[in-house]
Structure 1
């Protein structure tokens, strides 16, 4: 921890550990509010230029995106020879992964509330030329007011209007088929991943799966979207219509985040449509 950080914040209990560092709760000595501080050990990234680049990219992207209520806020950045520390919004409620594991299946209104907030975050990111590239429940956090905060921009990339991106990034169940196919892609890969998140919230399992990473990737590349009747008989036609538009292999026909926000299932809050 840098001396400057300790001058401004009181470091409290550990909240979690990741590949490159530790997250603590911290107390601002100026305003008395609690925040999270992500402390990254630079030694752990040595020899991996991609990870070292992510260290520099994430704070830059968070500064570009601020302020947006559904994107995690960066409140301070401290760096010394050994560590990089980011002071972030404290998301004290359970993340979406924990909620899915605990609940298995969510109601349509609850799922619609999550997706509305997520698409607001994605529309904001895409409007400012940022693709997250790793949308998954683990990176969807909630604060004490149950406000969604999109987090972990370590894989994110800045793009110019009409510019394509490349590189295989993401997480097996959630990655878009065009990424796996090795083609250049656009920001709509985030929309695909959001569609997988929605499917899992409504069904309790992913739309494309297998017993190994290779089998999962093959299923994603086929993109054969199905709605098993034993699970989806109680899911509304509007929800299934939105899923078809999000999990559309043809990128030109796939919804943008902005279009998803205008879909009737989202605007009705997941309620029954007449």
Structure 2
């Protein structure tokens, strides 16, 4: 009889759960435990809402690990992302956990900067098999029964007395085949402008650079219009196929209330993307430095909703609606920005390298239940609170604590609610409905009575000028 060998490939499965005796959640990776301690979530809160604490931890950690990725989102990519978030702590997760030292460094850096605005909801949107999916509405496949296999619980033909329901087998979507480097470049050359951008555009100023590229302001020598140029080193992009998809989507889906894609070029191994630019700056400056009338808020909401409804009609979910991403023209025009791969190229590297702040997130983003395009409607409601109060709820909390509060409190309190008109109060209620089924859609809100109050967009211009003067941005 041969000797019994030593065991191999031993796995130690750690049970994660709430310990009522200690009043703590136990079994978490060390960085997660450190984060929980720093987040000011008390033992009482852990005892009362352990599921919410775990959900917040999972979303926060996933966001932290994937903070530099941002792609157009649709329902299919969100469903895949939810699966990855849920399996972070077990062996069924598709991605290997980050190195503990790297995670601790990321968490420490994020806690240092937690009170600064950052890119919210920057959860990646990888499609099946780790690749992103095209930014169009996912096809709905009818369930089909495998003709070679009887349905589970099915009796003989014509037997209607079986106790078990018949289950239809749904086909699993096939993972898209990765393109070779040569195929990617061939497809890119086919969709970009073959001209020379260095002769078409005159660079005026470098706005900043980040991990994904550099942003400049420039002048179009043909039209004399000011534009933004975002340059991206393709050698540093691991998902070039998604860039091809998104350029096609942006070319085909332009709207007056979106910061639109204008053109793109290949310069050696760099991709140049030409985008519209608005010189009024972000709505954030106006809401933090000036007091808006309800009629001006209505005008902003109306224009923002036009953009959101358009994206939703194309199967695209923005997932980052907030005042930072609503840009203003000096004529008061309103355009939504910061979606798709262009959002990865930020002029402010510090904002880009931080985990996304969660203050505009809907409760279902944390719980991952009924997560669909109405997350944008919730975020619009939080943006309305910004316009009313100057900042979103929970801004002084750590990001993890804010996630916990969003998951447990639902609709946030509005400090000055008694001062709101009935129309604005109802508009807020329709946006911040925690029951996703009852929450209004963007299309429905465009018909809301509050928007009937909208003033001319030109009335926003004095607010823009006042904010610029206060912030020395003239």
- TM bucket (normalised to shorter chain) is 0.7 to 0.9
- Which of the numbers 233, 240, 248 marks the counterpart of 1:60? 248
Partner of 2:439: helix, strand, or coil? coil
User: Equivalent residue for 2:441?
Assistant: 256
Q: What residue ranges of structure 2 are gaps of 5+ in the alignment?
A: 1-193, 343-354, 456-474
1:194 aligns with 2:396: no
Task: Tell me the TM-score normalized by structure 2.
Answer: 0.49
Matches within 5 A, 1:26-175: 26-45=218-237, 49=239, 55-66=243-254, 68-103=255-290, 105-154=291-340, 171-175=357-361
User: Equivalent residue for 1:161?
Assistant: none
Partner of 1:233: helix, strand, or coil? helix
Q: Where do 4+ consecutive residues of structure 1 move more than 6 Å? A: none
Distance 1:144 1:43, change over 3 A: farther
CA shift digits 1:116-172 (9 cap, x unpaired): 10001111111122111111211111123221111111279xxxxxxxxxxxx9640
CA shift digits 1:220-259 (9 cap, x unpaired): 112143232xx23322121111111101111111111111
Distance in 1 of aligned mates of 2:294 and 2:446: 15
How many residues align? The count is: 249
Give the CA RMSD over aligned residues: 2.5
User: Equivalent residue for 1:269?
Assistant: 454
Distance 1:60 1:255, change over 3 A: same
Distance 1:146 1:269, change over 3 A: closer
Distance in 2 of aligned mates of 1:54 and 1:204: 36
Structure 1 residue 31: Cα displacement: 2.2
Alpha-carbon contact 2:308-2:376 (below 8 Å) kept? yes
1:243 aligns with 2:428: yes
Distance in 2 of aligned mates of 1:13 and 1:239: 41
Distance in 2 of aligned mates of 1:175 and 1:151: 17
User: Equivalent residue for 2:110?
Assistant: none
Alpha-carbon contact 2:251-2:261 (below 8 Å) kept? yes
Distance 1:195 1:19, change over 3 A: farther
Alpha-carbon contact 2:357-2:399 (below 8 Å) kept? no
Alpha-carbon contact 1:41-1:82 (below 8 Å) kept? yes
Alpha-carbon contact 2:217-2:227 (below 8 Å) kept? yes
Alpha-carbon contact 1:242-1:263 (below 8 Å) kept? yes
Partner of 1:13: helix, strand, or coil? strand
Alpha-carbon contact 1:21-1:41 (below 8 Å) kept? yes
Alpha-carbon contact 2:233-2:270 (below 8 Å) kept? yes
Task: Tell me the TM-score normalized by structure 1.
Answer: 0.81
Question: Where is the strand percentage greater, Structure 1 or Structure 2?
Answer: 1
